[in-house]
Amino acid sequence: MCNDFFRMRGIVKTYQMGDEAQTVLKGIDLTVNEGEFLSILGPSGSGKSTLMNIIGCLDTPTSGEYILRGREIAKQNAQQLAAIRNREIGFVFQSFQLLPRLSAMRNVELPLIYAGMEERQRFLRAEEMLTRVGLSDKLRNHPNQLSGGQQQRVAIARALATNPSILLADEPTGALDQKNGRQVMQLFEEINGEGRTIIMITHDLSIARYGHRIVHILDGMLKEGEAQDA
Amino acid sequence: MLKHTISLWKESLRMSLTNIWNSKMRSFLTILGIVIGVTAVIALVTIMQSATTEVTEEFTAMGTGRLMVTVTGTPLKTGLSISDMEDIKAIENVEGVSPSLSAIVTVKSDYNWIEDVTVEGYNEVYFRRYPELVSYGRAINPMDADSRNHVVLLDETAIQQLFYGTDPLGKQIYLLGYRFTVIGVLSDADDNDVLSQAQSDGTDGGRMIIPYTTAMTITGTHDIQSLSVYVEDTDKTDQVEEELDNALKTMFNDKDGSYRIINMEGLLDTMNTMLSMMTTLLVGIAAIALLVGGIGIMNMMLVTVSERTTEIGLRKALGAEPRQIQIQFLIESIVLSLTGGLLGIVFGLAASYVFSVAADFEFVASGSAIALGVGFSVAVGIGFGWAPARKASELNPIDALRSI
């Protein structure tokens, strides 16, 4: 079957460290179907951050083929990659990455500005997204007036604002306590239940298990299933 | 696409205002250089323009279309005679010739006497040129000059001293022992006429004018050493000057330095050229302050870019194109320097207003000076913000996000 939604074949990423070349990813093959909730599990130094950067189109592979929604990522220029990040990928970071000087609303509006949406529409969309994550009463609050869990929910609202194909999360619960982490994961399940594809990268098996499929990354290679850890 | 761009600019503008507001102190110190530079430019340009206007007005009042002749003469011919004057009057396009004589005399009335008063001799041309000079009574007419009438016009100062303020018309005074009849009263010296002011300076006895021919007779001279030639059509001043020069050359037998012609317009041109050169020079110096200010802005923008590496990375992850990042930081830099520029315009205009009040100049807020201030500061913002904005746009999003 030829999957044009998300397909990686033989992805290799090599970094040049002075004289030494370090290969961080050593031939990754990965196919994700639309609507899947995939967890990529791996310890630090396994290459998962690099993989996440490549999935998120923040970085390009040294070799290999990466097709996202029918487009060959390696062939896109900087401007096209920016558009793909804007329309196809919603990022959720471990440390939320909200701009401290902007209100929740204006943080959520950011990707919509780059999408070229009009002010009024943008406003409505941001409000809708924040309501969706249960923060309709915190629209005007700045990040420092929100708890960690609330901040991460603002970040999720922002990630979903442009209606992307994939929600890409990097240790989304890493900076949260258990209760807030669980809430965020429940939100992820709901979002996935609405048909949104989620790719989540984590080192925590209990979090990874929220996904419907787990792949392991170890030393730059992928393995399906969670057998090794069991 | 256009809408998209405008919306992005608007957002960038809002972002930069937020950022500037959030670091008020730092922003203020950063733009101080621009404020000082623009203040200097605006103040200098405005003051120099006022000065130019003032000088031009003064010179125009002294008369455009007027050629002044001063004669030192030669041993054989120490001045111009009345017939020389007739020859000059005959030159094409000459409207009239007004000689000017002066002598220091003692003057007496029935009540009082004043020593060392300057008495001036003019003809009707002079009075025709300055009609507001006679406040009441009559001016000197051609017949007075032809028949060397003993008539005199006095100003208020002289009237106070000679007649204690009573109506002097028709009364008699004595100059060098000759009896004169008062025919008119001079208005107070016209402020605009620097020349007549200068002539009446030095004596506090007031101003007295008699026909120039009479003045020649009572002082026993045949020489006119100073006269003004009025030109009919101001466009032809240069041509008249040339012919006048030829005529005088003939009269004084080609002797160098025996006379001088001063062209008021030529003087004005020279003055204006000088003033505009001075303006350019001063603005050039002020521009150095702007340059220093620009370097300050560049420094702040570089610091801002490295402080906000994470923000830049995040914006890129959210879909900002390199160009959009560059625009954002460029706008921030322009907003900074433009704020400085606007403050500078306000301070500069205030400074030149204070100056114009102090120097008794007319204050003119010149549009070109304001445009210059705005233009300069925007140019500085773009010029010195370009490199930092470029640097921001070229940041690799991965490196930028990793620096968390």
pLDDT tens for A156-184 read 999 999 999 999 999 999 889 999 999 99
Domain count, chain B: 2
CA atoms of B394 and B293, how far apart (whole Å): 25
- Helix/strand/coil percentages in chain B, nearest 5: 60, 15, 20
| Minimal C-alpha gap between A1 and chain B (Å) | 31
In a domain, B264, yes or no: no
Q: Does B24 touch chain A (CB under 8 A)?
A: no
Q: Is B68 helix (H, G, I), strand (E, B) or coil?
A: strand
**Domain finish residue from B257, B290, B319:** B257
| Minimal C-alpha gap between A49 and chain B (Å) | 10
What separation in angstroms does the CA of B138 have from each of A198, B141, B179, B182, B236? 106, 9, 18, 10, 32
CA atoms of B397 and A201, how far apart (whole Å): 19
Q: Are residues B124 and B183 in the same domain?
A: yes
Q: Which positions ≥6 away from B217 have C-beta within 8 Å?
A: B148
What is the CA B312 to chain-centroid distance, rounded? 53
CA atoms of A133 and A90, how far apart (whole Å): 15
The H-assigned helical ranges of B227-366 are: 237-251, 264-307, 309-317, 322-359
In a domain, A97, yes or no: yes
Written as one letter, the residue type at B19 is N
Q: Does pLDDT of B202 surpass 60?
A: no
- For residue B197, the model assigns a pLDDT of 47
Q: How buried is A227 (Cβ within 10 angstroms: 0-12 exposed, 13-18 middle, 19+ buried)?
A: exposed
Q: Are residues B166 and B305 in the same domain?
A: no
| Minimal C-alpha gap between B294 and chain A (Å) | 26
Q: Does pLDDT of A154 surpass 90?
A: yes
When pLDDT is averaged across residues B201-219 and rounded to a whole number, the result is 82
Taking an 8 Å cut-off on Cβ atoms, the answer to whether B319 and A59 are in contact is no
Q: Does pLDDT of B193 surpass 80?
A: no
**Domain finish residue from B217, B235, B257:** B257
Q: What is the tens place of the pLDDT at every residue in B235-279?
A: 788 888 888 898 888 888 888 888 888 887 777 788 888 888 988
Backbone phi, psi, residue A217, to 5°: -120, 130
In a domain, B311, yes or no: yes
Q: Are residues B397 and B287 in the same domain?
A: yes
Q: What is the tens place of the pLDDT at every residue in B108-165?
A: 888 888 888 889 999 998 888 888 888 888 999 999 988 999 999 998 888 888 888 7
- For residue A229, the model assigns a pLDDT of 44
- For residue A230, the model assigns a pLDDT of 36
In a domain, B263, yes or no: no
Q: Quote the mean pLDDT of chain B.
A: 85
pTM (two decimals): 0.71
B304, B316, B318, B324, best to mutate vs chain A, most A CBs in 10 Å: B318
Q: Are residues B114 and B252 in the same domain?
A: yes
In a domain, A67, yes or no: no
* Element at A202 (helix H, strand E): strand A197-202
- Provide the domain limits for residue B287: 7-59+269-402
Q: How confident is the model at residue B347 (pLDDT cuts 50, 70, 90)?
A: very high
Q: Which of A19-23, B20-24, B286-290 has the highest mean pLDDT?
A: A19-23
Helical axes A78-88 vs B322-359, angle rounded to 10°: 100
**Strand-strand pairing, A37-41 and A213-218:** parallel
In a domain, B64, yes or no: no
- For residue B401, the model assigns a pLDDT of 78
Q: Which two tokens stand for residue B341?
A: 């520029």
Q: Are residues B53 and B190 in the same domain?
A: no
In a domain, A20, yes or no: no
A60, A95, A114, A123, best to mutate vs chain B, most B CBs in 10 Å: A114
CA atoms of A32 and A163, how far apart (whole Å): 18
In a domain, A25, yes or no: no
| Minimal C-alpha gap between B9 and chain A (Å) | 10
Which residue in the set B7, B22, B316 is minimally distant from A113, CB to CB? Answer: B7
Q: What is the tens place of the pLDDT at every residue in B31-59?
A: 998 999 899 888 888 888 888 888 778 77
- For residue A8, the model assigns a pLDDT of 94
- For residue A9, the model assigns a pLDDT of 93
Residues of A in contact with B8 (CB under 8 A): 113-114, 116
Domain count, chain A: 1
Q: How confident is the model at residue A101 (pLDDT cuts 50, 70, 90)?
A: confident
Q: Are residues B295 and B397 in the same domain?
A: yes
**Cα angle: A106, vertex A112, A118; to 5 degrees:** 95
Which residue in the set A82, A115, A118 is minimally distant from B316, CB to CB? Answer: A82
Q: Is B122 helix (H, G, I), strand (E, B) or coil?
A: strand
In a domain, A86, yes or no: yes
In a domain, A193, yes or no: yes
Q: Report the DSSP beta bridge partners of residue A202.
A: A41
Taking an 8 Å cut-off on Cβ atoms, the answer to whether B321 and A101 are in contact is no
When pLDDT is averaged across residues B374-386 and rounded to a whole number, the result is 91
Q: Is B253 helix (H, G, I), strand (E, B) or coil?
A: coil
CA atoms of B381 and B327, how far apart (whole Å): 12
CA Rg value for chain A: 18
Q: How confident is the model at residue A118 (pLDDT cuts 50, 70, 90)?
A: confident
In a domain, A216, yes or no: yes
Taking an 8 Å cut-off on Cβ atoms, the answer to whether A101 and B22 are in contact is yes
Q: Are residues B151 and B244 in the same domain?
A: yes
In a domain, B294, yes or no: yes
In a domain, B238, yes or no: yes
Burial code (b: 16+ CB inside 10 Å, e: under 16) for B121-148 equals: bbbbbbbebbeebbeebebbbeebbeeb
Q: Are residues B54 and B91 in the same domain?
A: no
In a domain, A5, yes or no: no
Residues of A in contact with B310 (CB under 8 A): 97
In a domain, B67, yes or no: no
Task: Give me the percent of chain B exceeding a pLDDT of 90.
Answer: 25
In a domain, B241, yes or no: yes
CATH at A192: 3.40.50.300
Q: Is A59 helix (H, G, I), strand (E, B) or coil?
A: coil
Q: Does B320 touch chain A (CB under 8 A)?
A: yes
- Provide the domain limits for residue A123: 33-60+75-229
Q: Does B2 touch chain A (CB under 8 A)?
A: no
Q: Report the DSSP beta bridge partners of residue B71.
A: B259
